[in-house]
C-alpha cells in the first residue's frame, strides 16, 4: 500500500502565485517587513517594495514589448535580491520564468533559450558577455537583454530592469488572468547529468501547493516576529535560485511567511555559521534520523517499486526494502516541455511520478535515498548502486574522492563496475599511480561487498571527478572517457 503523509491534509487555494503572495487576506506581517537582503551590500526589499517593484516591471513588460500570456522571460544570474520582483512581475503580466545556471556557456544557455522560446533575458554584468553571445545565437534582440544587481552598463546600452516601465502612463494595464492548474509559472531545466537537459513544466498550482506544504512542514518553528529581539527568523540563502529548491523553499517561502532572507550570490563558508533552516524532516527528529530526506509533506503519497529489466510491470516492495521511489500529489510537475515521450516515461496516467531515486522507507515512515535508477549498474541480473561503492571507497585512506560507473565488458558479457579515483597524494603520489595500486584498492573493497559488487572493471586514477555546479557526479563524461580508453586497468578477481 502506498504511504500517505503523516501531516494533516492542507487546503490548497485555487489561485495563482501573485494572488497567493500579494492578495493575502490574513497576512500577519506588515508592509515594511524586510524580506530580502543582500549579504554583501546590505541593500534590501521590504514586502511592499517587492510588490511595487514587481508591479511596475510587469506593466513595463506589457508597455514596452507587448507581453502576452505564456511569453517567457529567462534569468541568467547568480543569486540576487532583484530576482524575486522580476519573477513576479513576469507572472503578473501572464508570463513564464525560466531560470538558467549562471555557469552555463553561451551554447548551453542558447539551448535553453531556444527550447523555451524566451523573449527577454535578464542577467548581471558579470554574466553579460555569455548572455549577449547566447541571445545572438537564438535571435533575442540586444534591447531585450536587461540587467539585475547594483552594477549598471557603462554606456547604458543594456537597461536595468527598473528602467523597464510604462513610461507614457497613457494606457492602464491590468493583471493577466491565468488558470492556476493549467498555466505555467516556471520552466526549470534538468541538470542533464544523464543526457540532454529537459524543460520541467511547473504550473502556478504546483508552486502554490509546495508553498503550503513547506509551511506545514515547518510546524510553527519559523516566524516573522520570532527570536529574542522579535525581529523574526532569518534564513541564509546560498542555494541557487535557478534550482527549484531555491525557488520554492527560499524565494517563495520567505515572502509567504514574512521571513528575512539574507541572499548570497554563492556560498562562502568563511562568512557562514549556520545550519539548514528548511527541510522535510520534522524538527524534533532531525538529529535522530541523520541521512533521511524526511517524511512526506502534506497531500502527498509515495511508494517504492521494483525496477524490472524486462517488460514486466513494476511491483511495490515492502517497507524496509530498496526500490524506486514513486510519488503522487498536487505539486508533481506537469511534464517535460515539448517532450511527451519523456513525460509518459515518468508520469503515469493516474499521476504517479517515477522519481528515478532509489531508496527505502523505515518503519517510522522516514524516507532514504541511496542512488539513482539510471545510474544503477546491471551486472548479470544484479543491480549495483554506484553511490554505495563510492561511500565505501572514500573510507580508504588512499582515496580522496571516487566515482563508480558501469562499463560494458566483453570478457564478462555484461556491465561491470569501474572506479575512477582521486588518490590521496600523501599515500599514492603521482609516480605510484600504477595498476598494482589500483589492484590493492580492488582487493580491499572485495572484502567489504558481495561478489557481484566487485570492481571487475578495475580502477582508474584521475586528478579530479567531473561534477556539476551542484555537486552531482557527471557519470556521462566518465562513460565517454571510458570508451576512449584503450587499455583499462583490470583487477584479477
What are the pLDDT digits (tens) for 46-77?
999 999 999 999 999 999 999 999 999 999 99
Place of cell 492602464: 172
- Which cell goes with 455? 570492481
The CATH class, in words, for 302-372 is mainly beta
What one-character DSSP code corresponds to residue 310?
S
Read off the pTM: 0.81
Using an 8 Å Cβ cutoff, are 67 and 96 in contact?
no
The CA–CA distances, whole Å, from 270 to 266, 274, 434 equal 12, 11, 38
Distance, CA of 323 to CA of 373 (rounded, Å) = 9
Give span(s): CATH 2.30.38.10, the chain: 302-372
Structural element, H or E, at residue 204? helix 204-218
Q: How many CB atoms lie within 10 A of CB 193?
A: 19
SS3 88: helix
Nearest to 458 by CA among 472, 446, 475: 446
- Which cell goes with 340? 511527451
Predicted local confidence at residue 276, as pLDDT:
28
Place of cell 503519497: 301
Distance, CA of 314 to CA of 297 (rounded, Å) = 25
Predicted local confidence at residue 241, as pLDDT:
94
DSSP-derived pairing of the beta strands 399-409 and 414-423: antiparallel
Structural element, H or E, at residue 202? strand 199-203
Nearest to 232 by CA among 263, 262, 259: 259
Give span(s): CATH 3.40.50.12780, the chain: 17-271
Predicted local confidence at residue 195, as pLDDT:
58
Distance, CA of 201 to CA of 214 (rounded, Å) = 20
Low-confidence ranges of the chain (pLDDT < 50): 269-279, 488, 491-493
The answer to whether domain 376-484 has CATH 3.40.50.12780 is no
Distance, CA of 215 to CA of 11 (rounded, Å) = 12
Superfamily of domain 17-271: ANL, N-terminal domain (3.40.50.12780)
Residues, the chain, total? 493
Amino acid at each position: 500500500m502506498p504511504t500517505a503523509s503523516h501531516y494533516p491534509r492542507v487546503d490548497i487555494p485555487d489561485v495563482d502565485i501573485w494572488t497567493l503572495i500579494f492578495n493575502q487576506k490574513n497576512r500577519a506581517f506588515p508592509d515594511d517587513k524586510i524580506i530580502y537582503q543582500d549579504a554583501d551590500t546590505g541593500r534590501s526589499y521590504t514586502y511592499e517594495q517587492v510588490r511595487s517593484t514587481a508591479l511596475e516591471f510587469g506593466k513595463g513588460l506589457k508597455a514596452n514589448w507587448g507581453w502576452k500570456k505564456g511569453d517567457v522571460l529567462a534569468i541568467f544570474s547568480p543569486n540576487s535580491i532583484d530576482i524575486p520582483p522580476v519573477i513576479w512581475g513576469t507572472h503578473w503580466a501572464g508570463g513564464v520564468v525560466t531560470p538558467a545556471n549562471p555557469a552555463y556557456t553561451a551554447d548551453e544557455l542558447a539551448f535553453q533559450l531556444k527550447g523555451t522560446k524566451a523573449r527577454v533575458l535578464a542577467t548581471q554584468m558579470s554574466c553579460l558577455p555569455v548572455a549577449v553571445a547566447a541571445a545572438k545565437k537564438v535571435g533575442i534582440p540586444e534591447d531585450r537583454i536587461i540587467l539585475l544587481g547594483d552594477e549598471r552598463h557603462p554606456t547604458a546600452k543594456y537597461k536595468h530592469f527598473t528602467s523597464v516601465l510604462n513610461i507614457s502612463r497613457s494606457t492602464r494595464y491590468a493583471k493577466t488572468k491565468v488558470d492556476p492548474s493549467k498555466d505555467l509559472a516556471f520552466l526549470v531545466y534538468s541538470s542533464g547529468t544523464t543526457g540532454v537537459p529537459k524543460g520541467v513544466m511547473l504550473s502556478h498550482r504546483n508552486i502554490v501547493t509546495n508553498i503550503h506544504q513547506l509551511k506545514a512542514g515547518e510546524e510553527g518553528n519559523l516566524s516573522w516576529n520570532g527570536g529574542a529581539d522579535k525581529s523574526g527568523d532569518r534564513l541564509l540563502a546560498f542555494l541557487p535560485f535557478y534550482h527549484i529548491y531555491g525557488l520554492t523553499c527560499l524565494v517563495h517561502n520567505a515572502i509567504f511567511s514574512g521571513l528575512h532572507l539574507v541572499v548570497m550570490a554563492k556560498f562562502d563558508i568563511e562568512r557562514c555559521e549556520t545550519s539548514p533552516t528548511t527541510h522535510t524532516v520534522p524538527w524534533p527528529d532531525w538529529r535522530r534520523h541523520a541521512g533521511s530526506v524526511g517524511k512526506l509533506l502534506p497531500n502527498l503519497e509515495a511508494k517504492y517499486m521494483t525496477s524490472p529489466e524486462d517488460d514486466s510491470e513494476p511491483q511495490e516492495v515492502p517497507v524496509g526494502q530498496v526500490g524506486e521511489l514513486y510519488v503522487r500529489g498536487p505539486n508533481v510537475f506537469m511534464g517535460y516541455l515539448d517532450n511527451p515521450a519523456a513525460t509518459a516515461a515518468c508520469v503515469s496516467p493516474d499521476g504517479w511520478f517515477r522519481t528515478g531515486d532509489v531508496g527505502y522507507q523505515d518503519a517510522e515512515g522516514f524516507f532514504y535515498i541511496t542512488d539513482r535508477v539510471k545510474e544503477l549498474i546491471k551486472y548479470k541480473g544484479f543491480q549495483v548502486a554506484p553511490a554505495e561503492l563510492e561511500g565505501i571507497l572514500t573510507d580508504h585512506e588512499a582515496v580522496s574522492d571516487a566515482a563508480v560507473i558501469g562499463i560494458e565488458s566483453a570478457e564478462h558479457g555484461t556491465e561491470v563496475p569501474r572506479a575512477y579515483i582521486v588518490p590521496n597524494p600523501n599515500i599514492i603520489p603521482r609516480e605510484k599511480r600504477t595498476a598494482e595500486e589500483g589492484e590493492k584498492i580492488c582487493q580491499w573493497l572485495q572484502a567489504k561487498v558481495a561478489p557481484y559488487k566487485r570492481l571487475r572493471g578495475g580502477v582508474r586514477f584521475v586528478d579530479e571527478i567531473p561534477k556539476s555546479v551542484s555537486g552531482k557526479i557527471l557519470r556521462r563524461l566518465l562513460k565517454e572517457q571510458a570508451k576512449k580508453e584503450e587499455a583499462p586497468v583490470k583487477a584479477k578477481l
